[in-house]
Structure 1
Amino acid sequence: MISRYKQSKIGFKKTERLGIALCLLSFCSIAQNPILKLGKKDFMYAADPAAEVYNGKVYVYCSHDQDDAVSYSTMQDYLVLESDDMIHWKNHGVVLKPREYNWAQGQMNAPDVAYKDGWYYFYFPYDKTHIGVSKSRSPIGPWEEAVTDKITSIFDPTVFIDDDGQAYIYGSDNKINIGDKGRHIMGAKLKDNMIELDGPWMRLSESPVSEAVYCFKRNGIYYFMGRKGWKTGYWMADAPLPTQPYAQFKGYITREQQEAPVHMSAIEFKNQWYFFYQRGDVNQGDFHRRSACFEKMVFNPDGTIVPITYTLD
């Protein structure tokens, strides 16, 4: 089944190449990067953007780099950005402070949010590898404890809910011994309560992945993204837990350009796909003071992703 992802030997037709070129030209007119801008009253450093679509609006859940940060150890809370048109954004500011839970201490890295059965579940790492969960009836909170301790250990958690309602959690075993020795994309089922694993962790990739794992689905194809070295790579599969064979590495999301450590997400909103990421070379930032950005995503006829070029206003 994986063979359906391979590009035809005859290449793309001229009309297809032209269409892709026109889509690429349209990137600059859509993205308004970074989303939050230094000097504006709502400015905050917003990293690790996890974008979701709820009730016709885009919500971007971000970790929070402090204005004077010189390391990641000062990351302690989370922000939410909201838009209904991808142009005008509302910063709800800090909406969750996990350190208020006596069991959740340490730095608060990349989060993710998933919705099921009337509840929004906010997944966050603490102490780098322990995963905590809060929940709310609203996508912006207020949030309450969904657990009283870690639910599992994984590096950079992300949660995906399939069309049949089954929830999965993914991450990297970079800093945790839960599978084969090395660094891989790891995945597991979640129980209906969204806070317990329903089976063991499973290795899903052959090639190494250090962090920033993310999963989405388009046209029946499951996409996995993650950091390979300094680049954002992606894999394709025909199942949410591909083990025989593993998800197939397809290349890099971005064009040939240097990246800072990057966390990404992807959504479809009003019939257009968008890629969210972070960068530290804007807003007078650096590795520890990062800003959320986004670009349009374009797919080739075989489902592979047209490499993205970062843009700024």
Structure 2
Amino acid sequence: MRVQLNQASGKVPPNGNPLVAHRYGADPYALVFGDRVYLYMTNDALEHDENGTVKENTYSSINKIAVISSSDLVNWTDHGEIKVAGPHGEAKWATQSWAPAAVHKVIGGKDKFFLYFANNASGIGVLSSDSPVGPWIDPIGEALILRSTPGVEEVTWLFDPAVLVDDDGNGYIYFGGGVPEGEYAEPGTARMMRLGEDMISVTGTAEVIPAPFMFEDAGIHKHGGVYYFTYCSNFYDGERPEGSPPAGEIAYMTSSHPMGPWTYQGTILRNPGHFFGVSGNNHHAIFQFNDSWYIAYHAQTLSKAQGIANGYRSTHLNLLFHNGDGSIRDVEADYKGVEQIRCLNPYESVQAVTIGWSAGIQTEGKADTAERRVTGIGNGDWIGLSGVDFGEKGAAAFIAAVVSLEGGSIELHLDDPAGPLIGELSVPAANGPEIQGEWKTAVSGAEGVHDLYLVFTGTNDAELFELISWQFTE
């Protein structure tokens, strides 16, 4: 190997957590559609002081929601950010977009997608789309839920939505949080409400969910005919009655009906500090994908690895198990994550922003197009893909759609960034304006299932090229 490889940070092979290492993403919410799971996340982004030093995350400037998706739960495609709030967002009445919740419903015979979000802690808005990745519109031009909504006047924090479309097609929204002064044990700030048939209106009066030590982070799922309301407990450091949820843990309640009554059961996920050595708020989403159940949650593992764990969070994934009696087992959060559930097919065009592991790279969307590229590519950077199935016959050639800048090479290695070399694609320098094209090279020695590493090399410190997509031929 003639190049000094840059090191992975945060997500290190073969681990699956955090899900990506080139961006942050907090407050995950899952939407399963077709053969993919889409995760919508608060778009945490670094804030700096006047000296350029990274400061504590204030959340005050977050007005976008990030989206990633996967069909195998290890390699994730970066769909970029949804511009939600502010003058450049779809919901121009809003100033922030936190803690999204997404859901799919067939209306009038057509697939419709709805994205709910918190405008800081003052209200909840909704966007709609015909696709899980947009484009999105604001269908009502104002908040869906405000303090003028019946039943929410006393909610301290009007945020953190979760949404359920039940088997009969009826929709429900769950939200709220905060602790009125001194009311730690019984805050009374969790709410549930019926959604209209159109999913962009609410009906009736919001009702209280009596969640013990409620703090934030509503969650909802249904399993075996039982409804599970999940939430994060508050950080009260005084004495708690026996059977109460400890501080900063994900707790759950159960019911036989989506609007309760609810019975408190216990906690299922300890605070991230217990598992990763860096504490903070605890936010989750529970979902079924194929025949298994998963819990997505966030922790400051990537920012910790970068030495800047100042409230910048990353999404993780682990298995979740329901017991025969309807209870939920304690979740063991870890860096390992979940098993890859299907192999990646290299003989179909793969978006370059589909990433298992990475070092040094970034991703960037291009104006007026849905295209997203891998950018910031320098000498020694790389992308890794997990579980690529080249088949018995094996690969004969590699083709990449590239925007050339300074030019360089893409080395193709198996199982490790410094593993066996199966091919090398030369990308010529642009020598002026950028050049976009497809380049092809022969490949040998790629048969069966392997991890694949695209290692980028060049002769100087400039950006070498931008990668759009790639695929192999047999």
The TM-score normalised by the length of structure 1 is 0.81
Give the match for residue 143 of structure 1: 136
1:204 pairs, out of 183, 201, 209, with 209
Decide whether the 8 Å contact of 1:157 with 1:169 is kept in 2.
Answer: yes
Decide whether the 8 Å contact of 1:172 with 1:209 is kept in 2.
Answer: no
2:268 pairs, out of 253, 256, 262, with 253
Does 1:48 find its partner at 2:35?
no
Matches within 5 A, 1:83-232: 83-99=70-86, 100-101=89-90, 103-116=92-105, 117=107, 118-153=111-146, 154-174=158-178, 182-229=187-234, 230-232=248-250
Decide whether the 8 Å contact of 2:227 with 2:255 is kept in 1.
Answer: yes
Distance 1:102-1:228 versus aligned 2 partners, 3 A rule: closer
Q: Which amino acid in the other structure matches residue 65 of structure 2?
A: Y
- Give me the whole-angstrom Cα distance separating, in 1, the residues matched to 2:93 and 2:143: 8
Decide whether the 8 Å contact of 2:179 with 2:189 is kept in 1.
Answer: no
- Give me the whole-angstrom Cα distance separating, in 2, the residues matched to 1:127 and 1:255: 25
Relative to its length, the structure with more helix (as a share) is: 1
Q: Which amino acid in the other structure matches residue 55 of structure 1?
A: G
Q: Which amino acid in the other structure matches residue 97 of structure 2?
A: M
Q: Secondary structure at the match of 1:223?
A: strand
- Give me the whole-angstrom Cα distance separating, in 1, the residues matched to 2:263 and 2:14: 31
1:176-217 deviation per Cα after TM superposition (whole angstroms, max 9, x unaligned): 9xxxx8334210101111121111001122523111011000
Q: Which amino acid in the other structure matches residue 271 of structure 1?
A: D
Q: Give, in angstroms, the shift of residue 140 of structure 1.
A: 0.3
Q: Which amino acid in the other structure matches residue 125 of structure 2?
A: G
Decide whether the 8 Å contact of 2:165 with 2:171 is kept in 1.
Answer: yes
Q: Give, in angstroms, the shift of residue 128 of structure 1.
A: 1.8
1:112-134 deviation per Cα after TM superposition (whole angstroms, max 9, x unaligned): 11112221011111132211111
Q: Secondary structure at the match of 2:43?
A: strand
1:41-79 deviation per Cα after TM superposition (whole angstroms, max 9, x unaligned): xx1111111011001210000111112362111212011
Matches within 5 A, 1:252-271: 252-255=267-270, 258=274, 259-271=279-291
Matches within 5 A, 1:13-92: 32-37=16-21, 43-68=22-47, 70=56, 71-92=58-79
Decide whether the 8 Å contact of 2:31 with 2:104 is kept in 1.
Answer: no
Q: Give, in angstroms, the shift of residue 289 of structure 1.
A: 0.7
Q: Identify the structure with bigger relative contact order (alpha carbons < 8 Å, sequence gap 6+).
A: 1
Give the match for residue 276 of structure 1: 296
Decide whether the 8 Å contact of 1:104 with 1:132 is kept in 2.
Answer: no
- Give me the whole-angstrom Cα distance separating, in 2, the residues matched to 1:72 and 1:146: 25
Unaligned 5+ segments in structure 1 are 1-28, 38-42
Q: Which amino acid in the other structure matches residue 48 of structure 1?
A: D
Distance 1:31-1:237 versus aligned 2 partners, 3 A rule: farther
Matches within 5 A, 1:288-299: 288-299=311-322
Decide whether the 8 Å contact of 1:212 with 1:264 is kept in 2.
Answer: yes
Q: Secondary structure at the match of 1:299?
A: coil
- Give me the whole-angstrom Cα distance separating, in 2, the residues matched to 1:83 and 1:129: 32
Q: Give, in angstroms, the shift of residue 295 of structure 1.
A: 0.3
Q: Give, in angstroms, the shift of residue 30 of structure 1.
A: 10
Q: Secondary structure at the match of 1:110?
A: strand
Decide whether the 8 Å contact of 1:81 with 1:89 is kept in 2.
Answer: yes
Q: Secondary structure at the match of 2:60?
A: helix
1:305 pairs, out of 310, 314, 328, with 328
Q: Secondary structure at the match of 1:282?
A: helix
Q: Which amino acid in the other structure matches residue 47 of structure 1?
A: A
Q: Give, in angstroms, the shift of residue 281 of structure 1.
A: 3.4
- Give me the whole-angstrom Cα distance separating, in 2, the residues matched to 1:104 and 1:262: 28
- Give me the whole-angstrom Cα distance separating, in 2, the residues matched to 1:221 and 1:184: 23
Q: How many residues align?
A: 273
The TM-score normalised by the length of structure 2 is 0.55
Q: Which amino acid in the other structure matches residue 156 of structure 1?
A: D
Decide whether the 8 Å contact of 2:160 with 2:217 is kept in 1.
Answer: yes
1:275-301 deviation per Cα after TM superposition (whole angstroms, max 9, x unaligned): 000001333353521000010011211
Give the match for residue 14 of structure 1: none
Give the match for residue 238 of structure 1: 256
Q: Which amino acid in the other structure matches residue 41 of structure 2?
A: C
Decide whether the 8 Å contact of 2:16 with 2:74 is kept in 1.
Answer: yes
- Give me the whole-angstrom Cα distance separating, in 2, the residues matched to 1:138 and 1:273: 24
Distance 1:58-1:206 versus aligned 2 partners, 3 A rule: closer
Decide whether the 8 Å contact of 1:35 with 1:291 is kept in 2.
Answer: yes
Decide whether the 8 Å contact of 1:155 with 1:175 is kept in 2.
Answer: no
Q: Which amino acid in the other structure matches residue 77 of structure 1?
A: K
Distance 1:142-1:162 versus aligned 2 partners, 3 A rule: same
Distance 1:149-1:289 versus aligned 2 partners, 3 A rule: same
Decide whether the 8 Å contact of 1:75 with 1:107 is kept in 2.
Answer: yes
Decide whether the 8 Å contact of 2:63 with 2:83 is kept in 1.
Answer: no
Distance 1:152-1:79 versus aligned 2 partners, 3 A rule: same
Decide whether the 8 Å contact of 1:45 with 1:67 is kept in 2.
Answer: no
- Give me the whole-angstrom Cα distance separating, in 1, the residues matched to 2:15 and 2:214: 28
